[in-house]
Amino acid sequence: MNRYDVLVLGGGLAGAMAARAASAAGADVAVVSKLHPLRSHTVAAAGGINAALAEGDSWEGHAFDTIKGSDYLADQDSVEIVCREAAAAVVEMDHLGTPFSRDEAGKLFNRPFGGHGLPRAYFAGDRTGLSLMQTAWEQLVANEITVYNEWAGTSLIVEEGRFAGLIAYNVADGRLDEFQAKAVVICTGPGGQMYGKTTNAVTCTGDGLAMALRAGGALKDMEFVQFHPTSLHGPNILITEAARGEGGIMKNAKGERFMERYSPKMLDMAPRDIVSRAIQTEANEGRAYPEGYVDLDLTHLGAERIRERLPEVHEFAVNFAGVDPAEKPIPIEPAQHYIMGGIATDNQGATNVPGIYAAGECACVSLHGANRLGGNALLECIVFGKLAGSAAAEFAQKHAQVEGGAAALSTDDRRIDGLMASEGTERVERIRQELKRVMWERVGIYRNDSDMTLAVGAVEDLQRRYANVRVGAKNTKFNYALLEAMELRNLLDLAEVIAKCALIRQESRGAHARTDYPKRNDASWLKHSLAWLRGDRVEITYEPVRITKWEPKERTY
Amino acid sequence: MGAEGADVLVAMIKVYRFDPEDGRGARYDEFEVDAAPGRTVLDLLHDIHYNEDPTLSFRRSCQSAICGSCAMNVNGRTGLTCSTQAKPLLDRDGYLVVEPMKNMPILKDLVVDMDGFWESVHDVDPFLQAGRKVPKGPYIVPKARMELLKIAQDCIMCGSCLSECTSREANPDYLGPAALAKAYRFVADERDEARHGRLMVYSEANGIWDCDTCLYCNEVCPIHVKPMDAIMRMREMSIEAGIQSQGSKHAIAFYDTILKSGKLNEFATANKSLGLKGMVAQSGVATKIILHWKTPEIRKKPIEGVKDVTKLANLIERKKRRGTRR
Amino acid sequence: MKYAYFPGCVGQDSCKELDVSTKLISDVLGIELVELEDATCCGAGFVQDVNYDLALALNARTLAIAEKLHLDILTVCSTCQFNLDRANRELKDDPKKLAGVNKMLAEIGLRYSGTVEIKHLLWVLVDEVGLAELQRRVKVDLSDLNVASFYGCQLIRPGTLHGYDDPDRPQYFERLIEALGGKPVDYEERKKCCGFPITFVNEDASMRMNAKNMLAAKGKGADVMATSCPLCHINLDMYQGKAEKVSGQRIELPILHLPQLVGLAIGIPPERLLMKRHIVSTKSVARAVKPKEEAKIPAMGS
């Protein structure tokens, strides 16, 4: 029996910072992670982390840009917390060793990021996410925090209305085990693998979101899915926004700088949703290349500047597309990148289920509202990771352990046995590919009623077919086929929530763009969706947006 | 996903298989795959796993050469399969074979036990040990000095270097390139106050002096970290700090003969670095050398330009004292 | 073909058979060697360990001396090749560094402007003398000889430095062996490390490596091993006994230097190639060399 005060599910930046905070607060912590922490998708975050550190900048400026960027759906008190804390967060990470890039004099160097009035993204070369993740993991090592590597959470145990523990599956030997604790911080990160084109890792299947939903938590604002405008055509590897920050220019197949049409002031540095839709419009209207991509031209920067400032972009272009960015433009297209929505939490990371906390991309406080600005995700992981970790530790101190995980353990055991024994006719991969296709085509960048209605039906149909799925691999050690089957269940549940929430929201706001309701409608829709699992059905309720200082205005750049 | 418009290119790929549960032992399975231009080795493995044999196990996640999950031995060289193009290897060798990383126990198929790898990394205390003088704001560290970390800071801990490390193969206790690169990352970081203590530990057995400079790590690192360069820098730093070890003894003995005569005095170097006891232990080798008239010169005649050596050494010494170092 | 000859240290000392055989075959093959008698040691990585800047300066000095002669440098040691190449590349890629080094060289009356190339004898033999010419020069029948090459790490890695051979599939040595009429042995360990750099630090590990390489070659049928690095030669030949002890297996593999193999092929007698100096007897090699036709031994100095 594994017994702790606080569990952290997921070892990425949010999880590592949560674990560290909980440990510092005196709790006996363990991290349970599907991957080794350093493999978490945090490491793929390039570009930077925002903070109003520079002279002439202010947290209010950062907050305003974030709120405007969110198309006024962000909860402003949450934004204030993060923006006020940002400078301290960056300094703390620097003090812990993150090798932030410096100027000649030794001061932190920042660069512009889309949607921000002033340059305030701090970075470590092209690999800010990697660097921050390294620092956070190093702190786990320094503080000797226990990490259960390659254990995938399967269920949250809720007894007497309170969190009692976690069931997890050990990938290495195929066994299930129960972890008892008084509180859990869910930090499982992204869940974008339901989309055909995504910058997410193959392992980003939103497990924590699905588990929270099934445990009685609410998923907030799930209809808001961000599409990153610049992913490398083909493998959809993220090409950092910083490529445009350094001066890259997007051109359609005719060689036009098409952003002049969509965002005359900010041009290529307009916020992501605007840029994604711009590229998609160019594609829809026949001005992009036949496969749907456009050019990102870096040739005018010169080989040396590209190598120095954007080394990773250079590598990617060469290794994955066979293109030298100093000589030719890079083919780029939008891809799903981030989900603004997530497990609904308060400003301490607490969900409506006592003992269950969440932080990072899998949570929705809401910091990002309808659209996230670049550089705010890493920041959220650090600030809310810490807050949630501390809050979870405090909760654990004040409460006794609730007993009773046996039922949950045997349920999950039976589920796995069922999957392994199944002689069904459906293949996991087939269902997965169909899901990805339907979500990309019907609940993607441009949405409308008939597409989304079809999507809801299609997802429900795939869920029925899932009941008949066969795993095809009987071995116990490193049975990734079984893990994929379990992940697929999570993807299907989340896809259902996303499609339903998107269908209902009859307006366009931030990343949620409807051709049938092209305008933002604050009168009816300035509110957050909350998706619940009641019995077998997904039910959606709403809650108001928390406004403090900034009155919602039209969002133009 | 293959390259747009490219034809399918059917090829055979051999994949190492091992399942401790099935009693079949290790074997190679052959699969037919599409190796069209643009397809990576990971693409091929995915095809096999998803469409043909779901029992095939391999680690992977980001598919963008940053998480380090998918390091495997492909056609004899360890690297990230997600960024290894299949066709060029087929063109060069006429075959494709994927095996698990080396120097690590095999758990199942292409999945290896990385516990030993992580243990070595943990052993170097891979976290900043800040001093007491922490500034209120960010540390002030000039760009040029922060960039000293560049040769090591981006390590994604994929294991490729350790897989190819010839020293680790011969000595499983050797810390290895990834751990030592990580060690350097802190030694070179101005914000870390434990430099001397670190160098002392790394100078002990199985540390920086056990690298055989085979260059495999520098060669295979998919993220262009230079572990060997990092190790070499730590050697110089530890000697400067006056830290003694068998390795430093040898290097200094070698160096002193160069200062003296411009060329290596093999005999003096062996003598000084091994000491009397060591020389006696070499008596078997020494006897054979003597019998074959292969003894090196005991005294080395200095080259004509030996004064140049002295002059350059002095100039560099002066430069160092003035604080301009590389 | 005229080169500034960088003999290295070991090649003129405990392995002086390397220097002697280099000169003998160069003479026959028409490679004119102008010996850099005043050049220092390349550092061999050990000077670099103690004082990297001095090693760089010393190698810059060597390059400057060669540049004065308007000649490229020829090396006969993988370690020398790497250290000179590395220094050369650093100076060529970094004008500031070159300027700084030149300031020091000025005080000893020298200057380097980055025009020198450094080539190992192996590459010169294959690329400039040429395989066809070598084949033409072969005076004996080596068809009974299974030759295992041993490059020495620093000749083939890193791939981005030297630019001659593919570090994963080096072929220069094998093509040379074939041209000379021998049979190259295909074994993985030809690319690996001999262990010499850690012989004085961890002899056990060094000997394990050492033994593994040679046993692997033997396992694939090698009668003889030929190496392009005298430091490798020390481990392979001088320490072969120790390798046998540590591995508990007999090895008995004669180890030749590259120019000795070439010399044998073009008809130079083993005695003149100083093959008797080797610790591990090379008699079996001499015996395996058959006359091709009426072997004509070229007169000295022709």
The reply to whether B187 and B294 lie within a common domain is no
DSSP string, A344-409: E--TTSB-SSTTEEE-STTEESSSSTTSPPTTHHHHHHHHHHHHHHHHHHHHHHHSPPPP--HHHH
Domain limit, last residue, from B240, B269, B291: B240
Q: Are residues A203 and A129 in the same domain?
A: yes
Extract the runs of DSSP E, i.e. beta strands, from chain B: 10-17, 27-34, 71-74, 77-80, 97-99, 106-108, 111-112
What is the domain extent for residue A14? Answer: 2-44+63-83+125-224+338-404
- B135 with B121, same domain: the answer is yes
A483, two tokens: 């893990």
* Number of structural domains found in chain A: 3
Task: Name the amino acid, one letter, at A475.
Answer: N
User: Identity (one letter) of the amino acid at C195?
Assistant: G
Same-domain check for residues A363 and A271: no
User: Is A344 part of a structural domain of the chain?
Assistant: yes
- State whether B80 and B186 are in the same domain: no
Mark yes or no for CB contact A234/B38 under 8 Å.
Answer: yes
- Model confidence over C204-257: pLDDT tens digits? 999 999 999 999 999 999 999 999 999 999 999 999 999 999 999 999 999 999
Task: Note the pLDDT of residue B198.
Answer: 98
Q: Smallest Cα–Cα separation from A279: which of A271, A270, A267, A287? A: A287
A416/A466 Cα distance (integer angstroms) = 14
Choose the catalytic residue: A162, A228, A233, A277. A228
pLDDT of res. A235 = 80
- Provide the 3-class DSSP secondary structure of residue A461: helix
Say yes or no for a CB contact (<8 Å) between B239 and C10: no
Q: How far is the C-alpha of A401 from the C-alpha of B58, rounded, in Å? A: 38
Query: Cα separations (Å) of C260 from C22, C263, C274, C282?
Result: 8, 5, 9, 11
Is residue A93 in a domain? Answer: no
**Is B296 in the same domain as B216?**
no
Look up residue A113 and give its two tokens. 């990021």
- One domain, residues A282 and A374: no
**Quick one: B101 and B166 in the same domain?**
no
Give the pLDDT confidence of A257-276 residue by residue, as tens digits. Answer: 999 999 999 999 888 778 88
Chain C contacts in chain B segment 189-208 (CB below 8 A): 205
pLDDT score recorded for residue B5: 44
Q: What is the pLDDT of residue C152?
A: 93
Q: What is the CATH number of the domain that holds A488?
A: 1.20.58.100
Contact yes or no for B107 and A95 at CB 8 A: no
Chains B and A touch (3+ CB pairs under 8 A): yes
Q: Is the pLDDT of residue A117 over 80?
A: no
Rounded to whole angstroms, the Cα distance separating C11 from C230 reads 6
Coil, strand, or helix at residue A24? helix
**How many Å lie between the alpha carbon of A40 and the closest alpha carbon of chain B?**
7
Residue C201 sits at the vertex; the CA angle it makes with C195 and C207, to the nearest 5 degrees, is 35
Is C194 a residue whose pLDDT tops 50? yes
Q: Provide the token pair at A485.
A: 């089957």
pLDDT-flagged residues of chain B (< 50): 1-5, 326
Structural domain contains residue A216 = yes
For the domain that residue B161 is a member of, what is the CATH number?
Answer: 1.10.1060.10
Q: Is A244 a catalytic residue?
A: yes
Identify whether residues A259 and A344 lie together within a single domain. Answer: no
Cα C17 to Cα A492, B262, C13, C196, C281: the distances in Å are: 74, 21, 9, 19, 14
Determine which of A42, A53, A131, A138 to mutate to test the interface with B (most B C-beta atoms within 10 Å): A138
CATH number at A10 reads 3.50.50.60
Q: Tell me the longest C-alpha to C-alpha distance in chain C.
A: 60
Does A88 reach chain B within 8 Å, measured CB to CB?
no
Query: DSSP letter at A31?
Result: E
CB atoms B62 and A139 under 8 Å: no
Q: Could you give the number of structural domains in chain B?
A: 3
Distance, in Å, from the CA atom of A153 to the CA atom of A166, rounded to the nearest integer, reads 7
Residue B137 sits in the same domain as residue B105 = no
Same domain, A167 and A67: yes
- Determine the distance in angstroms separating the CA of A412 from the nearest CA of chain B, rounded to an integer: 21
Q: Which residue of B has its CA nearest to C166?
A: B92
CATH of the domain at A289: 3.90.700.10
Binary contact (B128, A96; C-beta < 8 A):
yes
Same domain, B275 and B262: yes
- Contact between chain A and chain C (3 or more Cβ pairs less than 8 Å apart): no
> Does the residue A9 lie in any domain?
yes
Cis peptide before C184 (omega within 30 of 0): no
Active site residue A528: no
Residue range A413-431, pLDDT digits in tens: 999 999 999 999 999 999 9
In a domain, B2, yes or no: no
Q: pLDDT confidence of C297, banded at 50, 70, 90?
A: low
Closest to A483 in 3D by CA, of A416, A411, A417: A416
Select from A316, A333, A350 the last residue of a domain.
Answer: A333
Nearest to A226, CA basis, from A274, A269, A189, A273:
A273
Query: B59 and B136 share a domain?
Result: no
What distance lies between CA B201 and its chain's CA centroid? 18
Phi/psi for C183 (5° steps) reads: -110, 115
Question: Is the same domain home to A343 and A319?
Answer: no
State whether residue B266 sits within 8 Å of chain C by CB.
yes
Residue A12 phi/psi, 5-degree rounding, is -75, -160
Q: Which residues of A250-263 are buried (b: 16+ CB within 10 A; e: fewer)?
A: bbbbeeeebbeebb
**Cβ atoms within 10 A of the Cβ of B27, count?**
11
Helix segments in A185-251, DSSP class H: 207-214, 242-245
Selecting from B215, B264, B325 the residue whose C-beta is nearest the C-beta of C157 gives: B215
Q: Please give the interface size between B and C, counted as residue pairs whose CB atoms are below 8 Å apart.
A: 190
Q: Are both B14 and B29 inside the same structural domain? A: yes
Give yes or no for a contact between B152 and A102, defined as CB atoms under 8 angstroms apart: no
CB A47 within 8 A of CB A241: yes
CB contact under 8 A, C168 and B309: no
Residues A28, A138 within the same domain: yes
Long-range contacts of B80-83 (CB under 8 A, 24+ apart): B80/B158, B80/B160, B80/B222, B81/B40, B81/B41, B81/B42, B81/B45, B82/B40, B82/B41, B82/B42, B83/A319, B83/A320, B83/B40, B83/B222
The residues near B325 (Cβ < 8 Å, ≥ 6 apart) are B319, C53
- Residue A118 located in a structural domain: no
Residue C217 to residue C213: CA distance in whole angstroms: 6
pLDDT (tens digit per residue) in A459-493: 999 999 999 999 999 999 999 999 999 999 999 99
The pTM assigned to this predicted structure is 0.94
* Residue B253: inside a domain: yes
- pLDDT grade for C294, boundaries at 50, 70 and 90: low
Q: Are A215 and A354 contained in the same domain?
A: yes
Give chain B's radius of gyration (CA, Å).
25
State whether B183 and B93 are in the same domain. Answer: no
Contact flag B122-A99 (C-beta cutoff 8 Å): no
Q: Are residues B145 and B89 in the same domain?
A: no
**Amino acid at position A200, single letter:** N
Closest CB to B212 among C169, C197, C238: C197
Q: Which run of H or of E encompasses A552? A: none
* Inter-chain touch B170–C205, beta carbons under 8 Å: yes
pLDDT value for C299 = 56
pLDDT tens figures, A88-101: 999 999 999 999 99
| The pLDDT value given to residue C300 | 56
Residue by residue, DSSP assigns B81-150 as GGG-BHHHHHHHHS--EEEPPSSS-EEETTEE--HHHHHHHHHT--S--B-S---SSS----HHHHGGGG
Q: Among residues A62, A244, A489, A520, which one is catalytic?
A: A244
| pLDDT tens per residue, range A364-389 | 999 999 999 989 999 999 999 999 99
Is C46–B255 a contact, with Cβ atoms under 8 angstroms apart? Answer: yes
Give me the sign of the Cα torsion angle A164, A166, A167, A172: negative
CB atoms within 10 A of CB A515: 12
By Cβ distance, the residue of C46, C157, C206 closest to B251 is C46
Tell me which chain B residues have a C-beta less than 8 angstroms from the C-beta of A233.
Answer: 4
A156 and A140 in one domain?
yes
Query: Which ipTM did the prediction report?
Result: 0.94
Of C155, A473, A311, which Cα lies nearest the Cα of B56?
A: A473
Tell me which chain B residues have a C-beta less than 8 angstroms from the C-beta of A487. none
Tokens 């919602």 -> residue:
A552
Shared domain for B123 and B181, answered yes or no, is yes
Strands (E), A73-160: 110-111, 121-122, 146-149, 151-159
Residue A68 shares a structural domain with residue A206:
yes
Measure the CA–CA gap between B164 and B221, rounded to whole angstroms.
10
Exposed e or buried b for every residue in A338-350, given b needs 16+ CB within 10 A?
A: bbbbbbbbbbbbb
CA distance A365 to A67: 13
Q: Domain of residue B122: give its range.
A: 115-240
Residues near A26 by beta carbon (within 8 Å), at least 6 away in sequence: A393, A397
B60 CA: distance to closest CA in chain C (Å): 24
- Chain A from 118 to 157: CB within 8 A of any B CB: 124-125, 127, 130-131, 135, 138-139, 141-142
Q: Look up residue A255 and give its amino acid.
A: G
Nearest residue on chain C to B261, judged by CA atoms? C40
HSE (CB half, 13 Å, CA atoms) of C154? 27
Among residues B240, B257, B279, the one where a domain terminates is: B240
Q: What's the token pair of residue B190?
A: 């101005």
Give the one of C47, C107, C239 whose C-beta lies nearest to B255's C-beta: C47
Amino acid symbol at C42: C
- DSSP conformation class of A269: G
What 3 state SS string does A404-455 have? CCHHHHHHHHHHHHHHHHCCCCEEHHHHHHHHHHHHHHHCCCEECHHHHHHH
H or E stretch at C266: none
A235 touches chain B (CB under 8 A): yes
| CB-based contacts of B264, cutoff 8 Å, min separation 6 | B254, B257, B258, B300, C9, C10, C13, C41, C44
pLDDT score, position A311: 82
Map residue A190 onto helix, strand or coil.
coil
Maximum separation of any 2 CA atoms in chain A, in Å = 67
Report the distance separating Cα C7 and Cα B58, nearest Å.
Answer: 49
Side chain identity at C205, as an amino acid letter?
A
Helix then strand count (H, E) for chain B reads: 14, 7
Half-sphere exposure of B1 (CA within 13 A, CB side): 15
User: Is A553 a domain residue?
Assistant: no
Where is the domain boundary, A281, A313, A333? Answer: A333
Last residue of a domain, one of B217, B240, B263: B240
Do A28 and A157 reside in the same domain of the chain?
yes
Share above pLDDT 70 across residues of chain A, in percent, rounded to a whole number: 100
- pLDDT of residue A52 exceeding 80: yes
